[in-house]
Amino acid sequence: DIVLSRILFSDTDILILLAFYNFYSALPQKGQVDQGSRVSRHCTKSITGHCAPCLDSTFSEKPNALNECHPCTFCAEDRGLKTVRECTPSSDTVCGVLEGHYCIDRYGEGCREAKEHTTCQPGQSVRPGTGYNDTVCEACSDHSYSNGSFTSCKPHTE
């Protein structure tokens, strides 16, 4: 016979359970090494395993059983990116956007690729872009004008 019962948890109980889960799931398991390290020799019945730190330009963010650390991300200017935070043995590089660009591929705390903001034309008003949104260009009405850099169209004078 199978007995099913309903267990009710309060919001506080759920938060406590999630905190315990996050804490214990971040600890290295058997055969794993700490973040910032890699396995240099796996365990066998007769040999103890060893870990080694991640080398320059490599990282591991979580406990792992990897033989090699991940290569650090390079923030390429031709992709509209700049380095915001350097790579460390336990965290990857964080890339941000260059001035005059906006992110088109967000990743974690940073950006993987950015594009140059659109340039508005004469006869359009401008809503300036941000690091995450492109510039918005809107056509002026027949009785107004803009040189392509005004945030609102100006009325024609007679």
Residue 10, in any domain of the structure: no
Tell me, what's the pLDDT at 112?
A: 95
Tell me, what's the pLDDT at 65?
A: 78
Domain that holds residue 79: 73-116
Q: Are residues 87 and 101 in the same domain?
A: yes
Residue 44, in any domain of the structure: yes
Long-range contacts made by residues 94-100, C-beta under 8 angstroms, separation at least 24? 96/131, 97/131
Q: What is the mean pLDDT of the chain?
A: 80
Report which secondary-structure segment, H or E, holds 12: helix 11-25
Q: Are residues 111 and 123 in the same domain?
A: no
The pLDDT tens digits for 85-137 are: 999 999 999 999 999 999 999 998 999 999 999 999 998 989 999 999 999 99
Residue 18, in any domain of the structure: no
Q: Are residues 50 and 83 in the same domain?
A: no
Residue 106, in any domain of the structure: yes
* Residue 108 CB neighbour total at 10 angstroms: 11
Q: Which of 5-19, 25-39, 84-98, 135-149 has the highest mean pLDDT?
A: 84-98
Q: What is the pTM of this model?
A: 0.64
Tell me, what's the pLDDT at 40?
A: 60
Residue 104, in any domain of the structure: yes
Q: Are residues 96 and 122 in the same domain?
A: no
Contacts of 140 by beta carbon, 8 Å cutoff, 6+ apart = 123, 124, 125, 146, 153
Residue 9, in any domain of the structure: no
**Share above pLDDT 90 across residues of the chain, in percent, rounded to a whole number:** 41
